[in-house]
Amino acid sequence: MKYRLISCFWIGLMVCVFGSPSTAQTASKQRYKVAVVDLMILKRQKLGAFQLAKDIGADGVEVDMGGLGDRETFDNQLANDSIRKVFLSKAKELNLEIPSIGMTGFFAQSFAERPTAIKAVTDGINTMKQMGVKVGFLPMGIKGDLVKFPELRPAIVSRLKEVGKIAEKAGVVIGIETALDAKGELQLLKDIGSPAIKSYFNFENAIRNGRDLDKELKTLGKNNIIQIHCTNDDGVWLQNDPKINMEHVKATLDKMGWSGWLVIERSRDAKDPRNVKWNFSANTTYVKSIFQAN
């Protein structure tokens, strides 16, 4: 009994000094991790995104580069050393990770045509390096749909080759999102020919266009998918969405040998789409129940 009491004392002391196993430490052992997007939880490049993500139950936050508009580059407060350090410190304090940096300003732009596109993406890559983040999310923008605008393909390929070289040198990967099917996106990646340009797969793109989600994932293959936007269009939570069988998706990713971040972007309930905590907590809890069950 004496030794048992001493043992308990030291265990208690160690917990006080070093802390009990944190959510982040547990998550670090997971094959799949779950994040939310600061833009979509209405905290675009705001420090409060971290506490809200923690309250939601996420393992991390995809942090955005800020708006683009008519500027030469992003309205990026993280270029400021002191602000960047505060963000990194807050993430560490809350045991949250930053799986990726989002360049969502390009959603409303045309990556193929914007004169300063390479400059803006280079700034994004520099911020990734400064923050120790290895993945960047780059949408192709309003005219990046190569199904509707196939004439812009040469420009997109050429610019992504240039971005690929910059990213390779920086030791990071840029995940692109296109409207192509998996076969078309795979060919696009081959045409670009850079290990630093991969697919940032979005469930919504496949579902919206009536494609088989599992087949699309298999066609792309694990080595071509850098991260996944685990989301569908708004209307219902993921757990209530008849268009996604999440157990099948997990089984497919398991068989592929893929592992990484599932980043929740949308799938808000139509009854109260702006209730951030309600919607994202439900989706995060559900995704974790499937992908972090063991």
**Distance between CA atoms of 52 and 257, rounded to whole angstroms?**
31
Digit-by-digit pLDDT tens for the chain (294 residues) are: 433 333 333 334 333 333 333 344 445 578 999 999 999 999 999 999 999 999 999 999 999 999 999 999 999 999 999 999 999 999 999 999 999 999 999 999 999 999 999 999 999 999 999 999 999 999 998 888 888 999 999 999 999 999 999 999 999 999 999 989 999 999 999 999 999 999 999 999 999 999 999 999 999 999 999 999 999 999 999 999 999 999 999 999 999 999 999 999 999 999 999 999 999 999 999 999 999 986
Confidence (pTM): 0.89
**Distance between CA atoms of 55 and 58, rounded to whole angstroms?**
8
Question: What is the distance in angstroms between the CA of the first residue and the CA of the last residue of the chain?
Answer: 35
**Amino acid letter at 184?**
G
E strand residue ranges, the chain = 32-37, 60-64, 101-102, 135-139, 173-177, 197-202, 225-229, 260-264
- Structural domains in the chain, CATH included, are 23-291 (3.20.20.150)
**Distance between CA atoms of 76 and 57, rounded to whole angstroms?**
26
**Distance between CA atoms of 274 and 255, rounded to whole angstroms?**
36
